[in-house]
Structure 1
Amino acid sequence: MTEILSVTPLRPELQAELEARFTVHRLDQAEDRDAFLGAKGAAVRGLVTDGGQKIDEAFLARLPALEFLSCASAGYDGIDIAELKRRGIRMGNVSPALEDDVADTAILLLMAARRDLPRAHHHVTSGAWAEGSYPLQHSFTGGRLGIAGMGRIGQAVARRAEGFGKEIGYLARSDKPGAPGRRFADLAELAAWADDLIVCLPGGEETRHMISAEVMAALGPEGILVNVGRGSVVDEAALIAALTEGRLGAAGLDVFANEPKPDPALVTLPNVTCYPHHASGTVEARGAMARMALDNVLAYFDGRPLPHEVTL
């Protein structure tokens, strides 16, 4: 039977299905990972993991027969994509399974920030409402929305935003056929054009701190920044300064530079709405993600098209 290395186990019923079809080696259960890889790695042809695991060149060198990697998350920050490409190893991930829930969360965070939900909630629970009405807020419907990253999630965000009458602008290297709105090649120009900016960019060195002090300044004191991409994309020191000094209106954040212990100087600000990297945290999305991770493995070794393959 084909040998598979399981770094991140799937749901029990799906893990059982994987193990019924293949010879599966459970690295997650190994007491000595190095010895385990030494004993089992040479024959492994498939790998099941997630983007939070460190799958670097040294790790991949222990798997000389590897042909296919199934990533059970949308992001793959910890995976050495250049080494996969060099060796001709194909990779599938599960981004279609979570795009709707992540896009919903992006709109949720933007709406909460635009209508000042955290402070309005406190106005009620603290008893301050009895002393006077809450200040008027700005309407959510209409206006200009910038989307940094127009992949599947970015396009799902755009579809939802159009329902609120928003004009769409997006950052992408090339035009996206069928995507609504206007393409910008420069992030600061997009931020200056937009009222609010939703970040749907992947992590990695290429996107590190792309949301810089310059971009926040362009978004301006009435602007709102929402991040459902990766925490590394935003310069958090610059974000804290911009929010504290009133150079940026508010932020809605699902992801942070340091998880699960984000900077208290950021998350305790009254104009920040926080979510615990849980945009895909629904029963439906997580179940579909695990199913797709397994289906990618089955499709590859059956010689069928993958449900979702990452272009390396």
Structure 2
Amino acid sequence: MSSGRILLLAPIPPEVRDRLAAENELVSYEKGASAPGFEIAVTTSMAGANAALFNLVPDLKLLLCNGTGLDAIDVAEAGRRGIVVRNTPDEVVSDTADFAIGLLYAVGRRIAEGDRFVRAGRWGAERLSPARRVSAMTIGIVGLGKIGQTIAARASGLGMTVLYTGPRRKDGVPFEYVGDVLELAERVDALILSCPGGAETRHLVDRAVLSRLGPDGIVVNVSRGSVVDEAALIAALESKSIRGAGLDVFDREPALDARFTGLENVVLSPHYAAVTLETRAAIGEALAGAVRDFRAGRKGAGAAQ
């Protein structure tokens, strides 16, 4: 077996790579090749891993995932094969929540639009119309997991009223639960999406939801691009049937729909919400710790959350 070696199934951030390389030999995987002898491999939430890949890495026992999302990893198949999947959901919480609030301000207060306005030399000859007071908004959070609850706490601390929806009511949270996303959209100024991706949430925010959100409404997405029907969102932005959107994720990233780039009422970000030095360091340490636990036979090697 490959004690001390880790198979890199996909490119990982350099800060995470360096942390793992400090204690291990990292070996790049050649796509489609058989790679016996590796008990540990690392992938990302976007690259994932499936049964076909598991067949090519037959000795795999621990799959590290740089990121929170597991919709691209066949977790059920991994479980059947006795493969532990260790993702990093806790490490990205704080920065992703901060970024969601940042996108809300960027859209509601037109910060990115104002920057373009000044750079284009339009200030003086023209004036921007009034923005919205973000701290007075009612927001609806779709998915009140760890990230959603942290967004809620940030927003509440800034003076916003917080409602939320999800598969079920959360015990012990001080925010109002709304069981239907359509009703939630009708009652709020902004929808912030922090739910998992996958088939159950695909196009959850569609034309009907956007219509209920209305011309003063804002959409912020820090979850997965698949949660939003992008064609319906672009139509709503083009017609100004919603006020705007702040998007950190896209359905086919990085090949986003080019129509987004021509719209003034959308703020675009390159899946950047958790990209901070602090989060990268925490992810690297969490994955390195999982490797140490696995090699020492400790149950702390972790499992998918």
**TM-score when scaled to structure 2?**
0.89
Q: Distance in 1 between matches of 2:270 and 2:164?
A: 26
Residue type at the aligned position of 2:18? P
Q: Report the alpha carbon displacement of residue 308 of structure 1 after superposing the two structures with TM.
A: 5.6
What are the superposed Cα offsets for residues 138-183 of structure 1, whole Å, 9 maximum, x if unpaired?
2111221111111111111111101111111112222323433122
Secondary structure of 2:284's counterpart equals: helix
Distance 1:192 1:308, change over 3 A: farther
User: Does 2:220 align with 1:226?
Assistant: yes
Structure 2 match to 1:12 = 18
Distance 1:185 1:86, change over 3 A: farther
Distance 1:226 1:133, change over 3 A: same
Pick which of 301-310 and 224-233 moved more: 301-310
Secondary structure of 2:64's counterpart equals: strand
Structure 1 match to 2:60 = 66
Q: Distance in 1 between matches of 2:22 and 2:112?
A: 43
Q: Report the alpha carbon displacement of residue 59 of structure 1 after superposing the two structures with TM.
A: 1.3
Secondary structure of 2:124's counterpart equals: helix
Contact (CA 8 Å) 1:168, 1:180: kept in 2 or not? no
Q: Which residue, out of 105, 108, 122, partners 2:102?
A: 108
Q: Distance in 2 between matches of 1:108 and 1:44?
A: 41
Q: Distance in 2 between matches of 1:88 and 1:206?
A: 26
Q: Report the alpha carbon displacement of residue 4 of structure 1 after superposing the two structures with TM.
A: 4.3
Structure 1 match to 2:43 = 49
Q: Report the alpha carbon displacement of residue 218 of structure 1 after superposing the two structures with TM.
A: 1.3
Q: Which residue, out of 133, 154, 161, partners 1:160?
A: 154
Structure 1 match to 2:166 = 172
Pick which of 202-211 and 130-139 moved more: 130-139
Residue type at the aligned position of 1:143? M
Distance 1:191 1:85, change over 3 A: farther
Contact (CA 8 Å) 2:9, 2:42: kept in 1 or not? yes
Q: Distance in 1 between matches of 2:301 and 2:226?
A: 28
Q: Report the alpha carbon displacement of residue 307 of structure 1 after superposing the two structures with TM.
A: 7.5
Contact (CA 8 Å) 1:292, 1:307: kept in 2 or not? no
Q: Distance in 1 between matches of 2:303 and 2:241?
A: 41
% identical aligned pairs: 38
Contact (CA 8 Å) 2:84, 2:302: kept in 1 or not? no
RMSD: 2.2
Q: Report the alpha carbon displacement of residue 13 of structure 1 after superposing the two structures with TM.
A: 4.1
Q: Distance in 2 between matches of 1:135 and 1:240?
A: 22
Q: Distance in 1 between matches of 2:116 and 2:296?
A: 55
Q: Report the alpha carbon displacement of residue 61 of structure 1 after superposing the two structures with TM.
A: 2.4
Structure 2 match to 1:292 = 286
Pick which of 169-178 and 102-111 moved more: 169-178
Contact (CA 8 Å) 1:112, 1:118: kept in 2 or not? yes
Q: Distance in 2 between matches of 1:276 and 1:299?
A: 33
Q: Distance in 2 between matches of 1:163 and 1:307?
A: 36
Q: Which runs of 5+ in 1 are unaligned?
A: none
Structure 2 match to 1:134 = 128
Residue type at the aligned position of 2:108? R
Residue type at the aligned position of 1:6? L
Secondary structure of 1:221's counterpart equals: coil
Residue type at the aligned position of 2:23? E
**TM-score when scaled to structure 1?**
0.87
Q: Distance in 1 between matches of 2:114 and 2:224?
A: 27
Q: Distance in 2 between matches of 1:90 and 1:183?
A: 34
Q: Distance in 2 between matches of 1:276 and 1:4?
A: 28
Q: Which residue, out of 275, 280, 285, partners 1:281?
A: 275
Q: Report the alpha carbon displacement of residue 92 of structure 1 after superposing the two structures with TM.
A: 1.4
Q: Distance in 2 between matches of 1:231 and 1:146?
A: 18
Structure number with the higher helix fraction is: 1
Residue type at the aligned position of 1:169? L
Q: Report the alpha carbon displacement of residue 54 of structure 1 after superposing the two structures with TM.
A: 4.2
User: Does 2:260 align with 1:254?
Assistant: no
User: Does 2:83 align with 1:89?
Assistant: yes
What are the superposed Cα offsets for residues 171-208 of structure 1, whole Å, 9 maximum, x if unpaired?
22223234331222322122112110111122222221
Q: Which residue, out of 127, 145, 155, partners 1:151?
A: 145
Number of residue equivalences: 299
User: Does 2:149 align with 1:123?
Assistant: no
Q: Which residue, out of 169, 173, 179, partners 1:185?
A: 179
